[in-house]
Amino acid sequence: MIAELNLKPIAIIHSGFKEKFGIPRQPGLASSMTATIELLPEFASAEAVKGLETCSHIWLVFVFSACVDKGWSPSVRPPRLGGNQKLGVLASRSPFRPNPIGLSPVRLETVRIENNGIYLDVSGADLLDQTPILDIKPYLPYSDIIEDASFELATRAESLDLDVRFTPAAEAALHTHAARLAVPLQTQIEEILRCDPRPAYHKNKQDERVYGIRLHDLNIRWMINSEYIQVNEIILDS
């Protein structure tokens, strides 16, 4: 029996998500979000990624680095259940686990070898910027897709069927920053906000407060009601 196991990160991810609030709770829900995985120098070998470019998707095994010092509890209150019902931590995807390890499938866009560095460009990742990556594995459709798999407490992806509107000031800023960052910023914002980042106890209520999420180097100020989501401001993060 192994009493203790020390794992060394092999890479870090460079992502537009600068804080936990606003990150979709599952991978693939914001498919327009791109990120870059940078292999650390000790593992940045062209031989190590040979053949990986033939994969359409890969698995990322990572550390919930923002939760390492937060400890864990045998029961949690998943947002999907409204934050009121308790569930066993091992029946959830809570980051507050006995070992804070996560697993995400992402689309592999390109494998780049530049200036002795190895970079994997991916899309659909739900990882905080600078998250340590413990391992990378190919996604195998013939074995990783289980057609009759089920989980009664989570039968489908949750997404709000609401229009996302931008104030005139926000729309002007949107075009400016989308061009500067060279990303589909409007699509990214819409996908993220339709995932409803609000805490579970704020949902299903008349909510007139203004929320903020940090995305790339921006602060997105937004609010939500029963009819639409409104982006009030898009400003450079101070």
pLDDT digits (tens, 9 = 90+) for 87-117: 888 888 888 888 999 999 999 999 999 988 9
Pick the CATH number of 163-236 from 3.40.1130, 1.20.120, 1.20.1270, 3.30.2310: 3.30.2310
**Could you tell me which residue, 66 or 39, shows the higher pLDDT?**
39
Sign, CA torsion 126/131/135/138:
positive
pLDDT for 160 equals 86
For the chain, what are the domain ranges? 11-144, 163-236
| Strand boundaries in 155-227, DSSP class E | 163-166, 211-215, 218-224
Average pLDDT, the chain: 90
Quickly name the fold that domain 11-144 has: Elongation Factor Tu (Ef-tu); domain 3 (2.40.30)
- Residue 78's pLDDT band (cuts 50, 70, 90): confident
220 burial via Cβ count (<10 Å: 0-12, 13-18, 19+):
buried
What's the pTM?
Answer: 0.88
Question: What Å distances lie between residue 151 and 88, 91, 95, 130, CA to CA?
Answer: 14, 10, 19, 31
The proportion of the chain whose per-residue pLDDT surpasses 70, expressed as a percent, equals 95
203 HSE (CA, 13 A, CB side): 17
